[in-house]
Amino acid sequence: MTPLVKVIEGPRLTTRGIPTVVGKITIGQLATTHRIPHRKSGKQVGYQREASLTRVNSLARDIDADRVDLPTAILVNRRGLDMSHLIPNDDGSLCLPISCSDDPFYIVDGQHRLNALCKLFEADPSKWENYELPFVCMIGATESQEMEQFHVVNSNAKSVSTDLALVLLKQRAEHDTKMRMWLEERGQSWKLMGQQIVDKLKDTPAWRGRIRYPNEQKGRTTIGNSAVVASLKRPLSQENFNGYSMDDKLKILDAYWQGIRTIYRDAFDDNPTEFNVQKTVGVHVFHALLPTVLQLALAKPSVTDRTIYAEILRGPLESIEGDNPQGEFVSGIDFWRVGTGAAGTYSSESGRRVLIMRIRGALPTVEIV
């Protein structure tokens, strides 16, 4: 007897008139009855690249640990069927015959989800054979028409911005122990802490109105929240900063930036968008320097005193110099001007490393007492 899957009729694809059905299918039913039309090198057949094994393995682990659900439907096609092959039920639904080797489900979109589930099914069939996956199935589309739909789905899909992803990550982790464990396992917990810091840093005197969150107008903001979070990776990996409580981390950062503001007042209070100090290059450089500067501040009366950071940084920041893109010599605060300064020439990752080393080399040495 031919296995059947219960479905309902979906809308026809308006551009080609292709009928569709919608339903759910178990991995046990789909694992051996599907085919992924991969693009073969040098051959004009297939249209999908090979799945990323890293993505597949990561998703399989998350599904197995009950950390994620898969509520969105995969898109498939049955090339060898038309609607007359479906069997009607009394309730208005239809029964779709399960494919065999010569009439498979062609996977148009969703190969990573399917490969992850098939990996779990192969490892433990009894546990995973009844796992249900929603699907939309085109009926009788050609390979060329599959390719059209694959292109439409993937060319119009827009990934979630990093700014929004980090905000959502923080919101999830605050209420989900499994998410926090997932971050720990992958060495990504610093992102959660970084976003927590940014949420508080944005209200400090030096940063008020400067950090831009998703869907906010640019206005006089200088940097997106995700760029600030990314810049905190290095200090959050150093015990001399990360060892403090969240409140103390914020006090240190507030004092640190207030110290920089003391030296570069115009870059903060005049028109901060005209300087790179609070833009990506400056924020990454100054946060990378924080552990070294904090080590010097530890020899002073208080690590939350902005005057101490101003004292430590004044020499290096007032003497920083270089040639701007026009070949003109600039120094001090002018070094950081957008367009006419030199800091913009250090915007690449390797350039930032050079600038970090230059400023670090000009800092006072740590004295052992």
The per-residue pLDDT for range 246-295, each reduced to its tens digit, is 999 999 999 999 999 999 999 998 789 999 999 999 999 999 999 999 99
Q: Are residues 86 and 187 in the same domain?
A: no
Q: Are residues 40 and 181 in the same domain?
A: no
Question: In the prediction, which pLDDT does 40 show?
Answer: 74
Q: Are residues 345 and 306 in the same domain?
A: yes
Token pair, residue 111, equals 């190969």
What's the 3-state SS for the chain? CCCEEEEEECCCECCCCECEEEEEEEHHHHCCCEECCECCCCCCCCCECCCCHHHHHHHHHHHHCCCCCCCCCEEEEECCCCHHHCEECCCCCEEEECCCCCCCEEEEECHHHHHHHHHHHHHCHHHHCCCEEEEEEEECCCHHHHHHHHHHHHHHCCCCCHHHHHHHHHHHHHHCHHHHHHHHHCCCHHHHHHHHHHHHHCCCCCCCCCEECCCCCCCCCCEEHHHHHHHCHHHHCCHHHHCCCHHHHHHHHHHHHHHHHHHCHHHHHCCHHHECCCCHHHHHHHHHHHHHHHHHHCCCCCCCCHHHHHHHHHHHHHHCEEECCCCCEEEHHHHHECCCCCHHHHCCHHHHHHHHHHHHHHCCCCCCC
Question: In the prediction, which pLDDT does 236 show?
Answer: 96
Tell me, yes or no, whether 251 lies in a domain: yes
Q: Are residues 166 and 151 in the same domain?
A: no
Is residue 347 within 8 A of residue 299, CB to CB? The reply is: no
Q: Are residues 87 and 178 in the same domain?
A: no
Question: In the prediction, which pLDDT does 47 show?
Answer: 87
Question: In the prediction, which pLDDT does 177 show?
Answer: 84
Question: In the prediction, which pLDDT does 239 show?
Answer: 94
Tell me, yes or no, whether 10 lies in a domain: yes
Low-confidence residues of the chain, pLDDT below 50? none
Tell me, yes or no, whether 130 lies in a domain: yes
Question: In the prediction, which pLDDT does 158 show?
Answer: 64
Q: Are residues 242 and 329 in the same domain?
A: yes
292: nearest Cα among 228, 362, 369? 362
7 Cβ contact list (under 8 Å, min separation 6): 21, 22, 23, 86, 93, 94, 95, 96, 137
Tell me, yes or no, whether 234 lies in a domain: yes
| Domain-ending residue, one of 156, 183, 214 | 156
Tell me, yes or no, whether 22 lies in a domain: yes
Q: Are residues 210 and 337 in the same domain?
A: yes
Distance CA 339, CA 104 (A): 59
Tell me, yes or no, whether 48 lies in a domain: yes
Using CA atoms, how far residue 287 sits from 199, 307, 369, in Å, is 16, 18, 27
Is residue 108 within 8 A of residue 75, CB to CB? The reply is: yes
For residue 169, give its domain range: 162-362
| Domain-ending residue, one of 119, 141, 156 | 156
Q: Are residues 151 and 196 in the same domain?
A: no
Q: Are residues 152 and 167 in the same domain?
A: no
| Domain-ending residue, one of 156, 173, 192 | 156
Q: Are residues 170 and 318 in the same domain?
A: yes
Tell me, yes or no, whether 367 lies in a domain: no
Tell me, yes or no, whether 222 lies in a domain: yes
Using CA atoms, how far residue 171 sits from 175, 202, 336, in Å, is 7, 17, 35
Q: Are residues 38 and 56 in the same domain?
A: yes
Q: Are residues 292 and 309 in the same domain?
A: yes
Class of residue 159 by CB neighbours under 10 A (exposed 0-12, middle 13-18, buried 19+): exposed
Question: In the prediction, which pLDDT does 155 show?
Answer: 72
Q: State how many domains the chain has.
A: 2
